[in-house]
Amino acid sequence: MGVIDYTITEEDKQRFNTDGYWISPKLIDDDTIARLREAHERVWTRKYDGFGLPMHHYHPTDNPLALRKFDNGWWINDEVRSVVTDRNLGKMAAELLDEESIRLWHDQVIYKPGTNGQETSAGNVGWHQDYGYWRCSSTPNMCTVWIALQDTDLSNGGMMTILGSHKWGAVEGSDTFFEQDMSKLKAKFATRDWVEEPCILKAGQASFHHALTFHGSGTNYSPDPRLSVVAHLMPGHTYYRESRQRHDNLRYLSARPVPGMKFDNEEYFPTLYSKS
Ligand SMILES: O=C(O)CCC(=O)C(=O)O
Distance between CA atoms of residues 221 and 11, nearest Å: 34
- CB 260 within 8 Å of CB 238: no
Q: Quick one: pLDDT at residue 57?
A: 81
Task: Tell which residue, 122, 116, 111, 117, has the closest CA to residue 223.
Answer: 116
CB atoms inside a 10 Å sphere around CB 255: 6
The reply to whether ligand 1 has any atom less than 6 angstroms from the CB of 215 is: yes
Q: Which residues contact 57 (CB under 8 A, 6 or more apart)?
A: 70
The rounded Å distance from CA 159 to ligand 1 centre is: 7
- Residue type at 35 in one-letter notation: R
Boundaries of every domain in the chain: 10-263
The reply to whether ligand 1 has any atom less than 6 angstroms from the CB of 159 is: yes
Distance between CA atoms of residues 86 and 99, nearest Å: 17
Q: How far is CA 60 from CA 22, 34, 57, 66, in A?
A: 32, 26, 9, 7
Q: Which ranges constitute the DSSP H helices of the chain?
A: 10-19, 30-44, 78-84, 87-97, 182-189
Q: Which long-range contacts (CB under 8 A, 24 or more apart) does 77-81 make?
A: 77/39, 77/42, 77/43, 77/48, 77/49, 77/109, 78/49, 79/32, 79/35, 79/36, 79/38, 79/39, 80/36, 80/39, 80/43, 80/107, 80/109, 80/229
With the most atoms of ligand 1 within 8 angstroms of its CB, the residue from 69, 84, 110, 209 to mutate is 110
Q: Quick one: pLDDT at residue 208?
A: 98
Q: What share of the chain is helix, strand, coil (3-state, %, to 5)?
A: 25, 25, 50
The rounded Å distance from CA 216 to ligand 1 centre is: 6
The reply to whether ligand 1 has any atom less than 6 angstroms from the CB of 144 is: yes
Ligand 1 atom at minimal distance to the Cα of residue 130: 10
Q: Which residue owns the Cα nearest ligand 1 atom 6?
A: 216
The pLDDT > 90 percentage for the chain reads 93
**Does 7 score more than 80 pLDDT?**
yes
Local confidence band at 276 (pLDDT 50, 70, 90 cut-offs) = confident
The reply to whether ligand 1 has any atom less than 6 angstroms from the CB of 161 is: no
Phi-psi label, residue 210: left if phi above 0, alpha if psi -120 to 50, beta otherwise: beta
**Does 270 score more than 90 pLDDT?**
yes
Under CATH, which architecture does the 10-263 domain have?
Sandwich (2.60)
Local confidence band at 230 (pLDDT 50, 70, 90 cut-offs) = very high
With the most atoms of ligand 1 within 8 angstroms of its CB, the residue from 230, 232, 233, 234 to mutate is 230
Q: Quick one: pLDDT at residue 161?
A: 98
The reply to whether ligand 1 has any atom less than 6 angstroms from the CB of 230 is: yes
**Does 1 score more than 80 pLDDT?**
no
Q: Quick one: pLDDT at residue 54?
A: 84
Ligand 1 atom at minimal distance to the Cα of residue 215: 7
The rounded Å distance from CA 255 to ligand 1 centre is: 29
Q: Compute the average pLDDT of residues 235-245.
A: 94
The rounded Å distance from CA 256 to ligand 1 centre is: 30
Give 149-183 pLDDT, tens digit per residue: 999 999 999 999 999 999 999 999 999 999 999 99
Q: Calculate ∠ Cα 100-104-107, nearest 5°.
A: 145
The rounded Å distance from CA 148 to ligand 1 centre is: 11
Distance between CA atoms of residues 181 and 203, nearest Å: 28
Give 43-93 pLDDT, tens digit per residue: 999 999 999 988 888 888 889 999 999 999 999 999 999 999 999 999 999
